[in-house]
Structure 1
Amino acid sequence: MIKALINVNIFNFDSLKEKSYVLFDKQIIEVGSMENFKGADEVYDCNNQILMPGLVNCHSHIYSTFARGWITEFNPKSFVDLLEQMWWKLDKVLDEKDVYYSALVSGIEFIKNGVTTVVDHHASGKKIKGSLNLLKSALCDQIGIRGVFCFESSDRFPIDECVEENIEFSEIHSTMTSGLFGMHACLTLSDESLKKIADKSKGMPIHIHVGESDEDNIENIKNFNKTPIERLEEHGLLRENSILSHCIYLSENDMDILKKYKVYVALNPTSNFNNAVGLADVLELEKREIKCILGNDGLGFNLTRDMVNLMFGMHLRYKNPTAYSLGNIKKIIENNYEYASNILGCKLGKIEEGYEADFLTLEYTAPTPITEDNLFGHFFYGMLDNFKPKNVWCNGEIKLKDYKVLHDEEKIYKESTQIAREIWEKCKEK
């Protein structure tokens, strides 16, 4: 069945096509001016809304869903204290039901925020084997958005189970889902574990936290006489299409090493602000042509907040309001689409023929003229200031219609609230 969106203003980040239509099924078939529209089996009249590609979140933690409102004993003196007193308490008690419902809720929340593809970094101590398939079943099969999953292998967990889970899930691949080899951080991985991962993962791209705090460097140098980057290179783990998240604390030599490999650095500015760990030297990474992408590190579901915080955070970091520009933000967004397209084997990020039918509509009335020169400025300072998609499609199927998700949200959230109570009680016992 051929569907059509009519009376849309198509926004591709660098162009705006007014009074347009889009024909699609799972992919976009045709884009044109309304005067040439000839009909379709199913027609949505968008009444001059902005139509833009669905967003890609390149680093998230779906399991953090159940941290909202959680009050625990908490007096961290360092970043590792923060992990031990909060996040490691939470992730080690999560079981099968917890994993599944975290993904159901996340899928709904992501859709409301216009995110149609998620790269997730997962941990659940009570359910390692089969956990990634649970995420896929909930997020991709039931909710219906795209997901790239991995389990964060760590010596905190049975390492062989972590390795097996990543490898087994990697055999599942489609344009809706794929896998990476997940690792928590070099901070929690011995050389023996890194060697095991390198030997068994057979060239899979990795997804790992690097240099989120300086403790990652301090502990690795103290215990192994190498930085995390040097250890990853030594074990042959800096593979094409790998994600290194955060990368706030990198030496000049670390960046020179990364320059040699086709890896991506995932920036998470809002989480970095919240954890008081600093901000990556993004300009230095870009100068070395190390590609940067954007995630939110599981802090909520609104990726557009991270777009804004990245820009303003870089202005603060460099103490210069022009050091980091709208052009830099646009490039990061393009890199997100490039990365997800590479991993999933499809075309994401444009409203053009042959691209996946992942898009959203926004009601946006500009109080000032829109021109080719200021178009992205309207997006950043206008649309993102009150980013609330009205309709969302993924894989050609509508997921949000007139601001309402097409799932039994009340039932899912009622169940997740009870699950949260149980999780919090289990955390108290630890």
Structure 2
Amino acid sequence: MILFTNASLVEFDPPRVRHNEDVLVEGDSILQTGKGLDTSGVEKTIDVSGKLLFPGIVCSHTHFYSGLSRGIMANIGSTPDFVSILKNLWWRLDRALDKDSLRASGLICSLDAIRAGTTAVIDHHASPNCISGSLEVLKNAFEKTGLRAATCYEVTDRHGEKALQKGLDENIAFAGLIDEEKKAGTWSGLTEAHVGGHAPCTLPDSALERLAAACERAGRGFHVHLAEDAWDVSHSHITYGKDLVFRLDEYGLVTDKSILVHGVHLNPEEIGRINERGAFLVHNSRSNMNNGVGYNPHLPGLTNWALGTDGIGSDMFAEMQCAYFKHKDEKGPLWPGDFLSALAAGNRLLEKSFGRPFGRIDPGYAADLVLADYAAPTPLEPENIAGHMVFGMGSNIVETVMINGKIVMENRVFPGTDRNAVYREASAQAQRLWARINTIEA
């Protein structure tokens, strides 16, 4: 058992602040909170005096395969619009991935997430020349670092029928691997699965039919980009004569287990259908700006929405701040508290995948916790937590991170992990990856 003492407990949705509390963790769960707890059997005590303890943060959409793209030096070519960004950069990078580069990318992305206080990520993977077993490579990276994650393979027709089927098979096989571990009692409790699709523009009707069947067979939800750029919408109208959400919905792919990403160019009727089905839409503000795809005006009308990075790291402090400031720049009506609720909503997605409660510091909740050194210059109250998050806090306040009841970073050090060696290997793999990109035509 691990005991945190004298903590200021901060929760995000609904906001709550409790001062001078103790938290007792047993196994992978919070056992008790309060004062005067029974400390018999405690193996480690952490004095939190003067610091904050809050539930782990969730990045609700990311791409860990992109970790070696930072500062990329390859012959990318012209990228004047979104489609050319995909063709000249991302669709060449994903084809250049092999298991060694993917392993390195998964490890550094996992360590970076933990350093930022992000205890769980919802990943969306692509490596067309390295499909079979790719999700297990990522699983190994998550579990080696102690990060909680759900991942999937993005099925697409970009590389022909054979690769499309291999992507479907990889999703089903990975979900099956998790299920077998659960049955055998060897599951770490850290990794889960979804069924992934790239975007409707690269998914013909036959693929949607098979994806729906894969979701049913795997017993998992669907994770897909849609309406990131206006081209996706136009393609759907020209090719199928349908709005994107309604086309997916015809195949049963818009449900309360679905994770729909971006949605910048959806129409109000589509937002209504998403709400009706109980699906989540994940907003990725920095990625939208970086790709120049426009601003999503639908956030105030969404029942369920969360925040992701679309692969631009896992610093959710930065993502929440950018999302809020961009929204206000667009004259939006939402306030910091709305964005804090969206950040905390990632816990609802975890609950759907892992089947247990997240996001509170109460008995029975998952022991995903962040210890942060933040000296509030003004009172820290439930009513202004969001204001402190947007205008004062940053990932640099994170000191110690617990995931699934285990300390995975303590005083900014990763126990049992040679971080420098991991990054040296990642740098070497990045150079090899960039060289391979130069041999691949758009």
Quickly name the TM-score band, shorter chain normalised.
over 0.9
Question: Once the 2 structures are TM-superposed, how far is the Cα of residue 43 of structure 1 from its aligned partner?
Answer: 0.9
Q: Which residue of 1 aligns with 2:182?
A: none
Q: Which residue of 2 aligns with 1:88?
A: 91
Distance in 1 (CA, whole Å) between partners of 2:44 and 2:274 is 48
Would you say the 8 A contact 2:264–2:297 is kept in 1?
yes
Q: Which residue of 1 aligns with 2:145?
A: 143
Q: Which residue of 2 aligns with 1:20?
A: 21
Q: Which residue of 2 aligns with 1:125?
A: 128
Distance in 1 (CA, whole Å) between partners of 2:2 and 2:55 is 17
Q: Which residue of 2 aligns with 1:216?
A: 232
What amino acid sits opposite 1:295 in the alignment?
G
Would you say the 8 A contact 2:299–2:305 is kept in 1?
no
Tell whether 2:209 aligns with 1:195.
yes
Tell whether 2:360 aligns with 1:389.
no
Q: Secondary structure in 2 aligned to 1:47?
A: coil
Q: Which residue of 2 aligns with 1:313?
A: 326
Would you say the 8 A contact 1:112–1:388 is kept in 2?
no
1:339 to 346, 349, 369: 349
Q: Secondary structure in 2 aligned to 1:405?
A: coil
Q: Secondary structure in 1 aligned to 2:383?
A: coil
Would you say the 8 A contact 2:57–2:344 is kept in 1?
no
Question: Once the 2 structures are TM-superposed, how far is the Cα of residue 37 of structure 1 from its aligned partner?
Answer: 6.5
Would you say the 8 A contact 2:11–2:55 is kept in 1?
yes
4+ runs deviating over 4 angstroms = 35-39
Would you say the 8 A contact 2:16–2:382 is kept in 1?
yes
Distance in 1 (CA, whole Å) between partners of 2:262 and 2:220 is 20
Distance in 2 (CA, whole Å) between partners of 1:27 and 1:200 is 32
Distance in 1 (CA, whole Å) between partners of 2:123 and 2:173 is 16
Q: CA 1:304/1:370 → structure 2, altered by over 3 Å: closer, same or farther?
A: closer
Would you say the 8 A contact 1:268–1:297 is kept in 2?
yes
What amino acid sits opposite 2:258 in the alignment?
S
Q: Secondary structure in 2 aligned to 1:324?
A: coil
Would you say the 8 A contact 1:149–1:180 is kept in 2?
yes
Q: Which residue of 1 aligns with 2:426?
A: 416
Would you say the 8 A contact 1:270–1:305 is kept in 2?
no
Q: Which residue of 2 aligns with 1:368?
A: 378
* Structure of greater relative contact order (alpha carbons < 8 Å, 6+ residues apart): 2
Q: Which residue of 2 aligns with 1:400?
A: 409
The C-alpha deviation readout for 1:105-152, integer Å capped at 9, x for no partner, is 11111110011111000001221111111111111x211111101000
Question: Once the 2 structures are TM-superposed, how far is the Cα of residue 196 of structure 1 from its aligned partner?
Answer: 2.4
Q: Secondary structure in 2 aligned to 1:238?
A: coil
Q: Which residue of 1 aligns with 2:82?
A: 79
1:357 to 361, 367, 386: 367
Q: Secondary structure in 2 aligned to 1:236?
A: coil
Tell whether 2:42 aligns with 1:50.
no
Q: Secondary structure in 2 aligned to 1:6?
A: strand
Distance in 2 (CA, whole Å) between partners of 1:112 and 1:313 is 25
Tell whether 2:156 aligns with 1:170.
no
Which ranges of structure 2 fall in alignment gaps of 5 or more residues? Answer: 180-186
The C-alpha deviation readout for 1:239-286, integer Å capped at 9, x for no partner, is 221100000001223223223212100110011111111121234532
Tell whether 2:425 aligns with 1:425.
no
Question: Once the 2 structures are TM-superposed, how far is the Cα of residue 48 of structure 1 from its aligned partner?
Answer: 2.1
What amino acid sits opposite 1:176 in the alignment?
L
Q: Which residue of 2 aligns with 1:271?
A: 287
Would you say the 8 A contact 1:94–1:127 is kept in 2?
yes
What amino acid sits opposite 1:391 in the alignment?
T
Q: CA 1:215/1:21 → structure 2, altered by over 3 Å: closer, same or farther?
A: same
The C-alpha deviation readout for 1:224-246, integer Å capped at 9, x for no partner, is 21222122112221122110000
Q: Secondary structure in 2 aligned to 1:245?
A: strand
Which ranges of structure 1 fall in alignment gaps of 5 or more residues? Answer: none
Distance in 1 (CA, whole Å) between partners of 2:96 and 2:264 is 29
The C-alpha deviation readout for 1:67-109, integer Å capped at 9, x for no partner, is 0111333322321111001000100111111221211111111
Q: Secondary structure in 1 aligned to 2:18?
A: strand
Q: Secondary structure in 2 aligned to 1:260?
A: helix
Q: 405-414 or 143-152: which moved more? A: 405-414
The C-alpha deviation readout for 1:371-424, integer Å capped at 9, x for no partner, is 44334322332223x643011111111111111222111111111111111111
Q: CA 1:403/1:124 → structure 2, altered by over 3 Å: closer, same or farther?
A: same
Percent of paired sites with the same residue: 29
2:66 to 39, 64, 67: 64
CA RMSD in angstroms comes to 1.7
Would you say the 8 A contact 1:112–1:405 is kept in 2?
no
Distance in 1 (CA, whole Å) between partners of 2:382 and 2:404 is 29
Q: Which residue of 2 aligns with 1:6?
A: 5
Q: Secondary structure in 2 aligned to 1:15?
A: strand
Would you say the 8 A contact 1:21–1:37 is kept in 2?
no
Query: What does 1:21-36 correspond to in 2, within 5 Å?
Result: 21-25=22-26, 26-33=28-35
Distance in 2 (CA, whole Å) between partners of 1:28 and 1:315 is 37
